Amino acid sequence: MDSEIERRKRDHVMNSLRQDSQYDLTSWLEFVIPIHNALPEIDYDKIDTSVVFFGKNFSYPIYISGMTGGFNDAYKINSELANIAEKYNIPLGLGSIRAMLKNPTLKYTYDVKRGKDIFMIANIGGVQLKEYSNRTILDAMDSIEADAIAIHLNPAQELIQKEGDLNWNGVMDRIVELADDTRVIVKEVGAGLSYYVIDRLKDSKVAYYDVAGAGGTSWTKIEYLRNPDAPKGFENWGIPTALALLMNRNKARLLASGGIRNGVDGFKTILLGAELFGMAKPFLEMALGKSNNILDLIIQQFKGAMFLTGSKDINTIRKVDYVILDPLKSAYEQIRSSILKR
Ligand SMILES: Cc1cc2nc3c(=O)[nH]c(=O)nc-3n(C[C@H](O)[C@H](O)[C@H](O)COP(=O)(O)O)c2cc1C
């Protein structure tokens, strides 16, 4: 018999594939316009898309956002994602390892590295960190050969989730403690990290922040599907990915995700200061054979945008000029003074 947590994990995967799991709000990346360069003076075939992340070289500034684990089909999904990560030399994120911490027989659903030369990022909820010691988490990471761990902050999801945990006291201290002992990424799950969060953690050893903004998968919408009685109104709650990037620019090492569905938008996140960009739903569809290999297309689009801005490598992208249109521009200006005060 499947446990409640296994059922929930399966529901999450199935519901996330539905069109009504996505925000009506966009990522706002459409309001970022890179300045076209009609004289790029570079050779497309010599463009270098490689990037360094946690001191390692990867072929593209793209990663697989953490998604699943904890039920039988999750093993197949994670295995397929591991194959993609190996083939393209990009980092792989797993879903929350809480299911295996609760039930060690589910370890196999995360244990997909098995000697493969891939960089694998385990995952756990910030609010769940209070239940486990660092030792327990580090042992679990070791047992699946994880190289780092992403801590997800998902208060909006927990608010709507039937079994949601709403006592967030002490979460920050546990993040700081875990970051003292291992490589930590802090991420949202689609509602966006604000400058407030990054500021609170500025003295910690957190290595990267994935802003995981609004515009793609909406975790409140997914939880409403499982809990129709929850108070409506939060379907589109969150900070669009482009705004989350802008408000955190130069504050920390940033990753971008949330609603990135093509390589041009991925390029724009790098322009706004992200070091890599991640996608969840597109990789899930790929792993399940529900879409053709869209990663090749995303890479072509990304390289195309590099070519058309004369960017020979990832660092040069940061020198490209761009304009910011309303409403992104005015939203950023409205919060700029608060950001500067911090
Ligand atoms: C099926 C599924 C399961 C997910 N599970 C997790 C999780 O366990 N931990 C986590 O940090 N994020 C999880 N996410 C959130 C993603 O990492 C990502 O932040 C979010 O989906 C936004 O990206 P997208 O718009 O490209 O889907 C999950 C996403 C999907 C689609």
We report the CATH number of the domain holding residue 230 as 3.20.20.70
Q: How many angstroms is it from 65 CA to the middle of ligand 1? A: 6
Of all atoms in ligand 1, which is nearest to the CA of residue 22?
25
Q: In 3D, which of 61, 71, 19, 17 has the Cα closest to residue 280?
A: 17
Question: Residue 184: its pLDDT value, please?
Answer: 98
3-class DSSP string for the chain = CCCHHHHHHHHHHHHHCCHHHECCCCCCHHHEEECCCCCCCCCHHHCECCEEECCEEECCCEEECCCCCCCHHHHHHHHHHHHHHHHHCCCEECCCCHHHHHCHHHHHHCCCCCCCCCCEEEEEEHHHHHHCCHHHHHHHHHHCCCCEEEEECCHHHHHHCCCCCCCCCCHHHHHHHHHHHCCEEEECCCCCCCHHHHHHCCCCCCCEEECCCECCECHHHHHHHHCCCCCCCCCCCCCEHHHHHHHHCCCCCEEECCCCCCHHHHHHHHHCCEEEEEECHHHHHHHCCCCCCHHHHHHHHHHHHHHHCCCCEHHHHCCCCEEECCCHHHHHHHHHHHHHHC
pLDDT per residue as tens digits for the range 262-311: 999 999 999 999 999 999 999 999 999 998 889 999 999 999 999 999 99
Please check the confidence at residue 169 and state whether its pLDDT lies above 60.
yes
State how far the Cα of 160 lies from the Cα of 10, in Å rounded to an integer.
18
Mutational test site, ligand 1, from 18, 20, 23, 65, max ligand atoms within 8 Å of CB: 65
Distance of alpha carbon 196 from alpha carbon 268, whole angstroms: 23
* pLDDT exceeds cutoff 90 at 52: yes
Nearest alpha carbon, ligand 1 atom 28: 67
Question: Which domain covers residue 104, as residue numbers?
Answer: 4-341
Q: What is the mean pLDDT of residues 312-320?
A: 97
Contacts of 135 (CB under 8 A, 6+ apart): none
Atom 2 in ligand 1: which residue has the minimum CA distance?
67
* Separation of alpha carbons 15 and 7, rounded Å: 12
| Confidence grade of residue 3 (pLDDT, cut at 50, 70, 90) | confident
Q: Give the confidence band of 107 by pLDDT, cuts at 50, 70, 90.
A: very high
Give me the number of domains the chain comprises.
1
d(CA 143, CA 128): 19
Distance 114 CA to ligand 1 centre (A): 23
pLDDT over threshold 80, residue 342: no
Q: Is pLDDT above 70 for 1?
A: no
C-alpha dihedral over 97, 165, 182, 247, to 10 degrees? 120
Alpha-carbon gap, residue 312 to 2, rounded angstroms: 51
